[in-house]
Chains A and B, each alone.
Chain A
Amino acid sequence: MLAIKNLVKEYVPGKPVLRGISLDIEGSDITAIIGPSGTGKSTLIRCINRLVEPTAGEIVFEGRDVVQLSGSELRLARSRIGMVFQEYNLVERLSVMENLLTGCLGKTSAWKAFMRKFDADDICRAWEMLEIVGLTGFANARADSLSGGQRQRVGISRAVMQRPALLLADEPTSSLDPKTSVEIMELLARVAETKNIPVIINMHDVDLARRFAKRIIGMAGGHVVYDGPPDGLSDDVLKTIYGGESWLH
């Protein structure tokens, strides 16, 4: 489904952020990527849908190397990968409904998008999605009038509207309070289960990762230093990932 091989990313030549990452993602579970700030978690996630250009390596998604794609083929691959952002990244001045339909832009021409001529089927799906995430009645509200938790639910809905085969989430709960964070994680788990797709989530909250992920990937210094079930996250492993130990107690 998704196979990353020897992925390297250098923003500055000679100073790699990702130093040869290899991962295989299958199934319909949540995979959490944890690691200290600046270790390349966001870069890794963004390389998968090419929001960031990889320097070297392969990213095979649905049988094709995303790194080699360009133009409409790249856009098609992107439309198959949903993405959820830390700061929601909704288009603030558009309505909630328009933000959801943004998920259908991959298959809509610019003229139709401008005239707001979306498929009736997609509009109905968006309407149902609002019901599922508990935002019935907010369809015409402007995105910037919502609270953080509501915005993130719109962000997830937008990604689901793409009918993705893979969902990426870049620290989806880092801007939210603990209760809302759990609700958002529950929603992501539900998406993984009902849509039967794998979800890859970057996160800082180790406890939340333990609670929701079936698989944890620990990154440090641009390498994968742990890859396994949450049970295997011992204090020693956490020390390898984050360094130091005073923070553990």
Chain B
Amino acid sequence: MSTTAPVPAYIKPFQASPLARAGWVVLIVYLAWAMSSLDFNYARFVTGLDNGAKFIHRMFPPNFERWDLLVKGLTESLQMAFIASFLGVIISLPLGLLAARNLMPVVVTWPVRLIVIACRSFHPVIVAIVCVKAVGFGALAGIIALTVASIGFVGKLFAEAIEEISMKQIEAVRATGASFMNVVVFGVVPQVMFRFIGFSAYETDANLRNSTMVGIVGAGGIGGTLFAAFQRFDYDYVFAIVLSIIGLIMVGEVLQLWVKKVFKQ
């Protein structure tokens, strides 16, 4: 074996970036400052634990006595989720097509993209607060809020799916003398159909979760019941609601798997 000579000085195999190192230092300093200024430390955590133990103690056993209210809230959440997903998907279909840069001119894609971005900019709860102010308490406000959120999410996914299609297949359909709508029906839709179904199932699942939350600001669904129970310190009832929501989400998960299985390829 040869002796291991040191690497000559002119070879610099690994280059350190001073800027990146400075960045790490700044990040660590900032975190330390933020923790100290927010009273985020072990002593505070231990004080909190004591309170947490009492809270958990009062949650057991879960109290299903007011099950009628619980079922009513859950049903409403479920209905809101499905209506909002349906509306969101229906509105997103044309928006996704208009926002696809491979099929539409820039003057069309930009305004449509702005609409979709605007729908995605705010958390559903913030949109729900605005909707409650606009149309009053209840499920309508929640449905509008969830629909807006769905457009923001599904519209973007639809547009991206259309932008990823094979243009060779489009070219062949165009070559037969097909009109633009015919190209969409026989060239675009077959290529994106199955992805769209997947996105729609995913969005329904997301809306199921979000629909349990918008009720906190008065936009209908189980969230309102949950928030009221918290404020009355009915922690055993809170636990019952939380268990029910988990059950609902699990049902949604199974439903999504089933849809994917049925429409697979």
Q: Which residues of A contact B (CB under 8 A)?
A: 49, 51, 72, 75-81, 83, 85, 87, 89-94, 98, 102-106, 108-110, 113-114, 155, 158, 162
**Contact assessment for A79 and B172 in the assembled complex, using a CB-CB cutoff below 8 Å:** no
Q: In the complex, A33 Cα to B35 Cα: how many Å?
A: 74
**Contact assessment for A105 and B182 in the assembled complex, using a CB-CB cutoff below 8 Å:** yes
Q: Is B137 an interface residue (CB 8 A)?
A: no
Chain A's closest residue to B190 (CB) is A93
**Residues of chain B from 162 to 188 with CB closer than 8 A to chain A in the complex:** 166, 168-169, 171-179, 181-182, 184-187
Q: In the complex, A109 Cα to B180 Cα: how many Å?
A: 10
**Contact assessment for B182 and A89 in the assembled complex, using a CB-CB cutoff below 8 Å:** no
Asked whether A106 and B178 contact (CB < 8 A) given A91-B190, A93-B190, A114-B185, the answer is yes
**Contact assessment for B178 and A89 in the assembled complex, using a CB-CB cutoff below 8 Å:** no
**Contact assessment for B175 and A105 in the assembled complex, using a CB-CB cutoff below 8 Å:** no
**Contact assessment for A91 and B193 in the assembled complex, using a CB-CB cutoff below 8 Å:** no
Asked whether A89 and B168 contact (CB < 8 A) given A94-B190, A110-B179, the answer is yes
Interface residues of B, count at CB 8 A:
22
**Contact assessment for B186 and A94 in the assembled complex, using a CB-CB cutoff below 8 Å:** yes
Q: Is B256 an interface residue (CB 8 A)?
A: no
- 4 nearest A-B residue pairs (beta carbon): A79-B177, A106-B177, A110-B181, A89-B172
B185 to nearest A CB, angstroms? 5
Partner of A105, one of B166, B178, B194: B178
**Contact assessment for A91 and B187 in the assembled complex, using a CB-CB cutoff below 8 Å:** yes
B36 to nearest A CB, angstroms? 59
Residues of chain B within 8 A of A81, CB atoms compared: 175
A102 to nearest B CB, angstroms? 5
Partner of A49, one of B166, B175, B187: B175
Q: In the complex, A79 Cα to B176 Cα: how many Å?
A: 5
**Contact assessment for A78 and B182 in the assembled complex, using a CB-CB cutoff below 8 Å:** no
Asked whether A91 and B173 contact (CB < 8 A) given A102-B178, A105-B178, the answer is yes
Residues of chain A within 8 A of B178, CB atoms compared: 75, 102, 105-106
Interface centre among B173, B175, B190 (most CB of A within 10 A): B175
If A83-B175, A91-B190, A93-B190 are given as contacts, then 10 extra A-B residue pairs at C-beta distance below 8 Å, sorted by A number, are: A51-B175, A72-B179, A77-B177, A78-B174, A91-B187, A92-B166, A92-B191, A98-B190, A102-B178, A105-B186
Q: In the complex, A102 Cα to B187 Cα: how many Å?
A: 9
Chain B's closest residue to A162 (CB) is B176
Q: In the complex, A197 Cα to B187 Cα: how many Å?
A: 27
Residues of chain B within 8 A of A93, CB atoms compared: 190-191, 193-194
Query: Can you list 16 residue pairs at the A/B interface with Cβ under 8 Å?
Result: A75-B179, A76-B177, A77-B177, A78-B174, A81-B175, A85-B172, A91-B169, A91-B187, A93-B191, A98-B186, A102-B173, A102-B176, A104-B176, A105-B176, A110-B184, A114-B185
Asked whether A113 and B185 contact (CB < 8 A) given A89-B169, A94-B190, the answer is yes
**Contact assessment for B177 and A91 in the assembled complex, using a CB-CB cutoff below 8 Å:** no
Residues of chain A within 8 A of B172, CB atoms compared: 83, 85, 89-91, 102, 155, 158
Residues of chain A within 8 A of B176, CB atoms compared: 78-79, 83, 102-106, 158, 162
Partner of B171, one of A51, A76, A92, A94: A51
Residues of chain A within 8 A of B181, CB atoms compared: 110
Q: How does the 8 Å CB contact mask read for B75-100 relative to A, with 1 for contact and 0 for none?
A: 00000000000000000000000000
Partner of A91, one of B179, B184, B186, B194: B186
Chain A's closest residue to B189 (CB) is A114
**Contact assessment for B185 and A89 in the assembled complex, using a CB-CB cutoff below 8 Å:** no
Interface centre among A77, A102, A104, A155 (most CB of B within 10 A): A102
Q: In the complex, A114 Cα to B190 Cα: how many Å?
A: 11
Residues of chain A within 8 A of B166, CB atoms compared: 92
Partner of A75, one of B177, B187, B191, B193: B177
B69 to nearest A CB, angstroms? 45
**Contact assessment for B185 and A110 in the assembled complex, using a CB-CB cutoff below 8 Å:** yes
**Contact assessment for B185 and A78 in the assembled complex, using a CB-CB cutoff below 8 Å:** no
Partner of A162, one of B177, B187, B193: B177
**Residues of chain B from 30 to 53 with CB closer than 8 A to chain A in the complex:** none
**Contact assessment for B169 and A90 in the assembled complex, using a CB-CB cutoff below 8 Å:** yes
**Contact assessment for A113 and B171 in the assembled complex, using a CB-CB cutoff below 8 Å:** no
